[in-house]
Amino acid sequence: MWKQLDVERWNARRKGSLSDVMAPVREIVEKVRSSGDAALYELTERFDKVKLDRLRVTDAEVQEAYSSVSPALVDALRAAEANIRAFHQLQRPADMWLRDIAPGLSVGVKTTPLRRIGAYVPGGRAAYPSTVLMCAVPAMVAGVREIIMCTPPPVNPLTLVAADIAGVHEIYKVGGAQAIAAMALGTDTIAPVQKIVGPGNVYVTAAKMMLRDEADIDFPAGPSEIAILADESAEPSFIAADILAQAEHDPNAACILVTTDQVLANKVGRELERQLARSDRQDVLTRSLDNIGYALATDLPSAAEVINMIAPEHLSIQVSDPLAVLSGIQNAGSIFVGRYAAVACGDYASGTNHVLPTAGYASTYSGLDVMHFMKRSSVQVIKRDGLEAIGDTVEMLAKAEGLTAHARSVNIRRQKR
């Protein structure tokens, strides 16, 4: 199970390829495009083995879900929602700002929330009420007026309660690539959205990439990943626990320890065997073992270089001086600093978002945040003295580009008294 990895080969295998599923996903997308709701009913019965009589979850179903969830769990969801909301409120920019940069010339930015967005919440192997909160709460903080959610049936009551707490406006019992197609293209029942966010399997990710011209997306977010950067001071049982916590998400989860200490690596391997033997979800964990292992680095700067090459979804830093190592990290979706910063805290209740880029996309994408649900317009307020201040520059550059009408549009204002 526990082995030293060739990092480049492990990295390439973890990235995988969407090309293998593009053909069936395209077929699903075209079926939804041509047949709308009828395709959703058919595909749900085929893939989820559920025969639906309606696509949209009713208000009565949401209220009934509360009777199936303990008050303690409802309180836990509300506590998590409060922390997630508090963190994302710190990100929200001013609706508009203006700054004077010269007499008569003010510039700024007007920020506007999107009107309608779609959140995809996985189902199947487990319920993910936490993902509901992570997708919907920042959209609410941003000011999105219509938040819809698609999730595979049968929908877990916890998921419905989380959606109600988070403020989701419409919930649909649709999963997989067909859900992405429905949100992007629209059907008689599901109106199209401007943007789709949320994690999913390779089919969901492929559909998001395929339909990004129809609706914007957050980023590719596939099976869970963790990289742990550790030295001899780390606690092996903590590392093993973090690895298994991410591995239980999905058989394709990818987990790697990057360490400067072979002795620590050996201890983690023994600890993994002990903890695995008493873990639940054995079916998922045993299938993910091929994606688990460790890599040795000569020193901490070299270990940081390995992390930057991997660009993991989650990074745990468990070294004697973690803040010193943090400064050398450039590519990671969410970073957990110190031995007590369990990655599971970020999955649920620290307030940071757990919808993160995977498969190396953390090198170019940021995790889900408030700005994913907003768009910016630049603003300029120009008075006569401001026009005079920049008029010569504008006219000269416009003429140099051969755009004389541009120059004239400025000159005519300068001549008019």
* Same domain for 248 and 194: no
With respect to residue 371, please indicate whether it lies within any of the assigned structural domains: no
User: Which CATH number is 132's domain given?
Assistant: 3.40.50.1980
Q: What value does the mean pLDDT take over residues 136-152?
A: 98
Number of domains forming the structure of the chain = 3
The β-bridge relationship of strands 314-318 and 292-296 is unpaired
Active site residues: 313-314
Tell me: the pLDDT tens digits for 50-78?
Answer: 999 999 999 999 999 999 999 999 999 99
Amino acid at site 192: P
Q: Which of 200, 281, 277 is nearest to 245 (CA)?
A: 281
In this structure, the answer to whether residues 265 and 190 fall within a common structural domain is no
What pLDDT is attached to residue 251? 86
| Distance separating alpha carbons of residues 152 and 63, to the nearest angstrom | 19
Q: Is residue 373 part of a domain?
A: no
Question: In the chain, what is the greatest distance between 2 CA atoms, to the nearest angstrom?
Answer: 86
Over range 229-234, report the average pLDDT. Answer: 98
316 shares a domain with 396? no
Q: Which of 164, 183, 217 is the last residue of a domain?
A: 217
Would you say residue 223 has pLDDT above 90? Answer: no
Under 8 Å between Cβ of 300 and 231: yes
Asked whether the beta carbons of 120 and 179 are under 8 A apart, the reply is yes
Which residues constitute the domain of residue 212? 36-96+109-217
Burial class (CB in 10 A: 0-12, 13-18, 19+), 33: middle
pTM of the model: 0.93
Neighbours of 89 (CB within 10 A): 13
The Cα–Cα gap between 87 and 351 comes to: 5
Average pLDDT over residues 366-378: 98
Place of tokens 């700067």: 301
Summarised one tens digit per residue, pLDDT across range 93-139 is 999 999 999 999 999 999 999 999 999 999 865 689 999 999 999 99
pLDDT of residue 222: 80
Per-residue pLDDT for 277 more than 80?
yes
CA atoms within 13 A on the CB side of 48: 25
